[in-house]
Amino acid sequence: MPTNGQNGAPRRIPDLSELPRPLYARAESLGAGSWTTRHRHDWVQFSYAISGVLGVYTAEGSYFAPPQWGVWIPAGVEHEVITSTRAEMRSLYVRRSDSAWAPGHCRVLEVTPLARELIKQFCQYPVDYAQGDSDEAHLVQVLLDQLRTLPEVGFSLPLPQHPGLLEVCNQLLENPEQGYNLEHWAQRLGRSEKTLMRLFQRETGLSFRAWRQRMRLLSSLESLEQGQSVTQAALGCGYDSTSAYIAAFKGLFGATPGNCSGNELT
């Protein structure tokens, strides 16, 4: 889950000064360890994982897209995209003027079956697809309408701004299996446990326990995508009980870890 220490050369970022059409598609087959440098652009990016797990990292937090989910990145937000495993990614770039309805923060969205088929069809169009009263323009409008209604899911991991708390979160991200409780971290920071609890809630919108659970579950996606067993994934992210891990996983993702096979969560 940490964004440093990536192997290989960074992925090329399209050299576009502006989008040639309201919607622009980019299809990529990514190798393990693929990454981009931090960058921003003047249009929305919606990155959708057909297979593999996408990680999008910003100053405000981290966002993860297992197969059949995507990350919505508003225009102007600095970000980097990392895939620890092999992945098939489809990215849509949307003009600001055609997505003025969208909130100004990153979100993870569920890609519905209809949206999936529309994206698949649109990716076959040329960059300079026909506009006006054309079949291509009509499909683009339907796709934009679908993007507007995609349901949001809780696969984000907000990061605090407080320097001490951010250090704690970064250490947990690097070692999700750590079992230290809030009392341990409070002593490390020279704060009371109650003070740290309030600070964590204020800075992230989550309790320490809820944040750590979400972080562990998100970090386990990579293990599952690599073909590790459910037990290995549970132990690797800090769970002593496989049954507790399965219950927590289903609570967040709406599916059991065993369904995370064949490159698709169902």
* pLDDT over threshold 50, residue 10: yes
Comparing CA positions, the residue from 69, 77, 58 lying closest to residue 3 is 58
Domain CATH for 232:
1.10.10.60
Residue ending a domain, among 153, 179, 207, is 153
Spell out the residues 6+ positions from residue 149 whose beta carbon is closer than 8 angstroms to its own.
none
pTM over 0.85: no
Indicate whether 138 and 252 sit together in one domain: no
Whether residue 23 has pLDDT greater than 90: yes
- Please check whether residue 9 lies inside any domain of the structure: no
Q: Same domain, yes or no, for 122 and 183? A: no
User: DSSP for 205-248?
Assistant: SS-HHHHHHHHHHHHHHHHHHTT--HHHHHHHTT-S-HHHHHHH
pLDDT tens string 76-102: 999 999 887 788 899 999 999 999 999
Q: How many domains does the chain have?
A: 2
149, 31: one domain: yes
- List, in sequence order, every beta strand (DSSP E) within 52-202: 54-57, 61-65, 69-73, 80-83, 87-95, 107-110, 152-153, 156-158
pLDDT for residue 208 is more than 60: yes
- Together in a domain, 29 and 119: yes
Average pLDDT over residues 56-71: 90
Answer whether residue 141 shows pLDDT above 70. Answer: yes
pLDDT given at position 201? 94
Same domain, 121 and 139: yes
DSSP-derived letter for residue 26 is E
Stretch 245-266: mean pLDDT: 74
Going by pLDDT thresholds of 50, 70 and 90, the confidence category of residue 9 is: low
Residues 189 and 120 reside in one and the same domain: no
Query: Quick one: pLDDT band at residue 58, thresholds 50, 70, 90?
Result: very high
Out of 124, 153, 182, pick the residue that ends a domain: 153
Rg (CA), the chain: 19
Task: Give the Cα separation of 198 and 200 in Å (integer).
Answer: 5
Same domain assignment for residues 71 and 138: yes
Give residues with Cβ within 8 angstroms of 32, minimum separation 6. Answer: 83, 84, 85, 86
Give the model's pLDDT for residue 31: 81
Q: Which of 32, 34, 58, 29 is nearest to 45 (CA)?
A: 58
Question: Between 227 and 44, whose confidence is greater?
Answer: 44
In this structure, the answer to whether residues 78 and 197 fall within a common structural domain is no
Which tokens is 261 given?
């096979």
At residue 94, the pLDDT reads 96
Q: Check pLDDT > 70 for residue 14.
A: yes
Are 176 and 78 contained in the same domain?
A: no
Task: Identify whether 132 is part of a domain.
Answer: yes
- Write out the residue range of the structural domain in which residue 247 sits: 159-259
Q: How confident is the model at residue 140 (pLDDT cuts 50, 70, 90)?
A: very high
Q: Are residues 122 and 243 in the same domain?
A: no
**Whether residue 140 is found in the same domain as residue 202:** no
Looking at 128, 153, 178, which one is the last position of a domain?
Answer: 153
Does 166 share its domain with 238?
Answer: yes
Residue 3 domain flag: no
Q: For the chain, what is the mean pLDDT?
A: 89
Per-residue pLDDT at 72 exceeds 90: yes
